[in-house]
């Protein structure tokens, strides 16, 4: 089973039926897998805060939701995370490509990478960093944790993690 | 007619429907006029009423009315292509277009100048776009509720606000009672 299939299987196991995505090169395979899944409604969004609004609505409609996005989106979504997702106690797993880490070819990506964990820490968002493929063994439990706690969680997936795909 | 006058005419038909209401004065006015557990009040996060409404409509069967403003649609323009390409026939987006940022002191928006939100929605691919006067809004909303087609209504009204208290309810309480109504309507 590919890592992309494993991720989507864990989504389905946790009854996630509504996923929004904003693409990143590292996430292309998992986005394809989401699109191909019969169990998940895939709704691409144009900006990540819009996507979080869609996820909040779907959750209130009875469908567990998740967002797949790049770490640059943390800069875009701080207000939405604080005043919608956290303020209303809405669970939201965020599968995030952690651009700008070791192996990154684009220097500008490093500029946001150096702020990513500090921002998530400042927002009190539980954060998990997948560096090796075996780190994804914990994904099932992390997703379950998000819905139990009714909180957003961040799963940062770096270049080393995806190189093994 | 100003926004609160338009909202007043809508109460008889939206009172028992799922309503997602935009941040600031629209939510406060709706709360004052007719607080219902079927109302989801946005206390923050400008621009996302239409996105929350679409997600809600796609996830369950009951009709959903998202009340938005011209300023909020301008701030989340990406919502219109997403709505157009993911049609939910139980979804009504009502844009109350008073050409101003009402909650922040009535600063003019571009929707009150050269930009037509109805034309933008059509250009984005939305199929049923209705632009109407403030006076005709209630009839347009009723027609959309009676039909089974996703509808975008742009209600052109005057700029202006009434004095309303802020909403004192806690956000998780608003969500919790709203979700109980969603369950009841889908039972």
What is the chain B residue with the closest CA to A62?
B59
A-chain residues within 8 Å CB-CB of B40?
A: 60
Interface test with A, best of B24, B55, B172 (most A CBs within 10 A): B55
A165 pLDDT above the threshold of 60? no
Overall average pLDDT of the B170-175 stretch: 98
Residue B97 DSSP symbol: E
Strand partners, B66: B20, B93
Overall average pLDDT of the A2-13 stretch: 97
Specify whether the CB–CB gap between B69 and B112 falls below 8 A. no
Burial per residue of A74-95, b for 16 or more beta-carbon CB atoms within 10 angstroms, e otherwise: bebbeebbbbbbbbbebbbbbb
- In tens, the pLDDT along B93-120 reads 999 999 999 889 899 999 999 999 999 9
Exposure on the CB side of residue B78, measured as CA atoms within 13 A? 15
Task: Determine the length of chain A.
Answer: 165
Tell me what percent of the residues of chain B surpass a pLDDT of 90: 97
Rg (CA), chain A: 14
Q: Is B84 on the interface with A (CB under 8 A)?
A: no
For each of the domains in chain B, give its residue range(s) and CATH number, in order of start: 3-186 (3.40.50.970)
Alpha helices in A14-47 (DSSP H): 28-36
Q: Residue A126: pLDDT band by 50, 70, 90 thresholds?
A: very high
Instruction: Quote the mean pLDDT of chain B.
Output: 97
B62 CB contacts (<8 Å, ≥6 apart)?
A: B17, B18, B90, B182, B185, B186
- In tens, the pLDDT along A8-61 reads 999 999 999 999 999 999 999 999 999 999 999 999 999 999 999 999 999 999
Answer whether B58 sits within 8 Å of A18, measured CB to CB. Answer: yes
Q: How far is CA B9 from CA A29, A42, B13, B144, B181, in A?
A: 50, 37, 9, 15, 23
End-to-end C-alpha distance for chain B, whole angstroms: 38
Answer whether B58 sits within 8 Å of A53, measured CB to CB. Answer: no
- In tens, the pLDDT along A101-122 reads 999 999 999 999 999 999 999 9
A163 pLDDT above the threshold of 80? yes
Answer whether A54 sits within 8 Å of B55, measured CB to CB. Answer: yes
- In tens, the pLDDT along B1-44 reads 999 999 999 999 999 999 999 999 999 999 999 999 999 999 99
What is the chain A residue with the closest CA to B85?
A43
| Residue in B45, B47, B56 closest to A57 by CB | B56
Rg (CA), chain B: 15
Distance from the B166 Cα atom to the nearest Cα atom in chain A, whole angstroms: 16
Give pLDDT, residue A164: 62
CA distance B41 to B26: 9
Give pLDDT, residue B185: 98
Answer whether A80 sits within 8 Å of B175, measured CB to CB. Answer: no
Q: Count other C-beta atoms under 10 Å from residue B22's C-beta.
A: 31
E strand segments, chain A: 16-21, 41-44, 64-70, 92-97, 127-130, 152-157
A-chain residues within 8 Å CB-CB of B45?
A: 49, 53, 79-80, 83-84
For each of the domains in chain A, give its residue range(s) and CATH number, in order of start: 3-163 (3.40.50.970)
Give pLDDT, residue B103: 86
- In tens, the pLDDT along A62-78 reads 999 999 999 999 999 99
Overall average pLDDT of the B85-99 stretch: 97
A93 pLDDT above the threshold of 90? yes
Give pLDDT, residue A107: 95
B184 pLDDT above the threshold of 60? yes
DSSP H or E stretch at residue A60 = helix A48-60
Answer whether A61 sits within 8 Å of B82, measured CB to CB. Answer: no
Give pLDDT, residue B98: 96
A-chain residues within 8 Å CB-CB of B87?
A: none
Answer whether B48 sits within 8 Å of A44, measured CB to CB. Answer: no
Answer whether A54 sits within 8 Å of B178, measured CB to CB. Answer: no
CA-closest candidate to residue A58, choices A97, A87, A91, A94:
A91
């Amino acid at each position: 089973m590919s890592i992309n299939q494993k991720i989507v299987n864990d989504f389905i196991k946790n009854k996630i039926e509504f996923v929004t995505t904003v693409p990143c090169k590292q996430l292309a395979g998992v986005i394809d897998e989401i699109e191909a899944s019969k169990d998940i409604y895939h709704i691409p969004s144009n900006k990540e805060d819009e996507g979080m609004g869609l996820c909040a609505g779907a959750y209130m409609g009875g469908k567990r939701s998740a967002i797949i996005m790049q770490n640059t989106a943390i800069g875009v979504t701080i207000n939405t995370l604080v005043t919608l997702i956290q303020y209303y106690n809405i669970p939201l797993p965020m599968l995030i490509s952690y651009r700008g880490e070791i192996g990154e070819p684009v220097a500008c990506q490093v500029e946001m990478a150096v702020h990513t964990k500090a921002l998530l820490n400042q927002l009190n968002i539980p954060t998990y960093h997948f560096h090796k493929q075996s780190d994804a063994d914990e994904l099932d439990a992390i997703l379950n944790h998000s819905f139990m706690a009714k909180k957003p969680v961040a799963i940062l997936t770096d270049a080393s993690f995806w190189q093994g795909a | 007619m100003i926004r609160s006058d338009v909202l007043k005419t809508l109460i008889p038909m939206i009172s028992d429907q799922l309503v997602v209401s935009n941040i600031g004065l629209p939510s406060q006015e709706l709360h004052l006029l007719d607080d219902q557990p079927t109302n989801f009040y946005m206390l923050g996060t400008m621009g996302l009423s239409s996105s929350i409404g679409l997600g809600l409509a796609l996830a369950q069967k009951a009709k959903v009315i998202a009340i938005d403003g011209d300023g909020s649609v301008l701030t989340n323009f990406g919502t219109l292509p997403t709505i157009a390409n993911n049609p939910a026939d139980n979804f009504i987006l009502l844009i109350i277009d008073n050409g101003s940022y009402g909650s922040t002191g009535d600063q003019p928006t571009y929707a009150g100048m050269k930009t037509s939100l109805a034309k933008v929605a059509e250009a984005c691919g939305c199929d049923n776009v209705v632009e109407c006067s403030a006076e005709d809004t209630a009839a347009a909303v009723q027609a959309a509720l009676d039909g089974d087609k996703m509808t975008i209504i742009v209600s052109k009204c005057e700029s202006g606000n009434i004095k309303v208290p802020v909403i004192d309810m806690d956000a998780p309480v608003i969500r919790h009672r709203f979700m109980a109504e969603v369950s009841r309507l889908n039972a």
